[in-house]
Amino acid sequence: MRVKICGITNIEDAKCAVSCGADALGFVFAESPREVLPTTVRDITRELPPMVQKIGVFVDTDTQTINDICEFCNLDWVQLHGSKAPKISKELKRPIIIGIRLKDSGSIADLDKYGECFLLVDSYHPQKMGGTGKVADWNLAAKVASVKPIILAGGLNPENVLEAISKVKPYAVDVSSGVETYPGKKDPDLIEKFLNKVKEF
């Protein structure tokens, strides 16, 4: 089971996540308490081992900006949120993860439009694209996971991640607020507990 720690804003949190066994780190380039500047991310990625996947998170950003940031920050993957995601995914130079928010069964009615992109399945919030701390609908998530490999996000923490994995059977799990002291600052103890729980599966 692979683990992505999202909302990394500083080198200390990045190194902690890597030392605890995280497979991927997410950097948010959208309006959020966890938003980071490309210069900060470049400084962080220079310190990371090559096997750790570095993922840029964008919300309805134009393709040129995304490609430029990926080159500048040496990112491996692009994670897209927003209505433009399926369309612009074809114009990007990195492998793509598309975030979908599970409001109801209509949210998963047309999975074919995402093509070969990985799907990150998250909880629904009317104003926010992610990082809400709200648990996703695991029944709907499991339906998606039965036909496509998914990354499960949405309100995961050390207490519920094992149950989530057991019910949904995702390819990977994604955590942000569930391992934080406050938005944008990770808690080393919670990161370690989360990774240790996942390793129990």
Based on the structure, what is the number of domains in the chain? 1
Round to whole Å and give the CA distance between 7 and 41: 11
Asked whether 57 and 79 are in contact (CB, 8 A), the reply is yes
190 by Cβ neighbours in 10 Å (0-12 / 13-18 / 19+) ranks as: middle
- Local structure of 170: helix, strand or coil: coil
| Beta-ladder partners of 126 | none
Respond yes or no: is residue 117 known to be catalytic. Answer: no
**Does 6 or 111 have the greater pLDDT score?**
6
Instruction: Give residue-wise pLDDT tens across range 48-92.
Output: 999 999 999 999 999 999 999 999 999 999 999 988 888 888 889
Q: Tell me which of 16, 117, 122, 137 is the catalytic residue.
A: 122
pTM of this structure = 0.93
Q: How much is the average pLDDT of 110-127?
A: 80
Q: Tell me which of 6, 16, 20, 117 is the catalytic residue.
A: 6
| Domain harbouring 58, CATH code | 3.20.20.70
**Does 28 or 86 have the greater pLDDT score?**
28
Respond yes or no: is residue 6 known to be catalytic. Answer: yes
Query: Residue 97 is part of which domain span?
Result: 2-200
Instruction: Give residue-wise pLDDT tens across range 150-193.
Output: 999 999 999 999 999 999 999 999 999 999 999 999 999 999 99
Asked whether 138 and 167 are in contact (CB, 8 A), the reply is yes
Average pLDDT value over all residues in the chain: 92
Is 128 a residue whose pLDDT tops 60? Answer: no
Sequence-distant contacts of 7-12: CB under 8 A, at least 24 apart = 7/32, 7/34, 7/131, 7/176, 7/177, 7/180, 7/183, 7/184, 7/186, 8/34, 8/36, 8/44, 8/186, 9/34, 9/36, 9/40, 9/184, 9/185, 10/40, 10/44, 10/185, 11/43, 11/44, 11/47
